[in-house]
Amino acid sequence: MPRRVATLVDWAFAPDWLTVEKAAELTGYTEDFIRWLIQDGGVEVKQQGDTWLIEKASLREYRDALLETLQLQRDLGLESDD
């Protein structure tokens, strides 16, 4: 079953701190990739008990920067032929 694409409304009404599951739902990334972002320091996080929470704003900044980079690569004809 294809993943549902999150809308701007979904982002707007999501809490400021997201669980790994909610972060994956909003971005379309896998939960494993979200965990990698946490380990890599790509997003702001805090720990609440055994649960890692991702700051929504930093996740959105990461996603937007990635999309901008991919678009720039396309514009410059640098996309791979994989």
Q: Report the alpha-carbon distance of residue 54 to residue 77 in Å, rounded.
A: 33
Tokens matching residue 56: 């929504």
Q: How many helices (H) and strands (E) does the chain have?
A: 4, 3
- Domain boundary assignment for the chain: 8-75
Segment 4-55, tens digit of pLDDT:
678 888 888 899 999 999 999 998 889 999 999 999 998 999 999 999 999 9
pLDDT at 3: 63
pLDDT, average across residues 59-69: 88
pLDDT, average across residues 56-62: 92
Alpha helices, H only, 19-78: 20-27, 31-40, 56-75
pTM of whole model > 0.75? yes
Span 8-75 CATH architecture: Orthogonal Bundle (1.10)
Residue 58 reports pLDDT greater than 80: yes
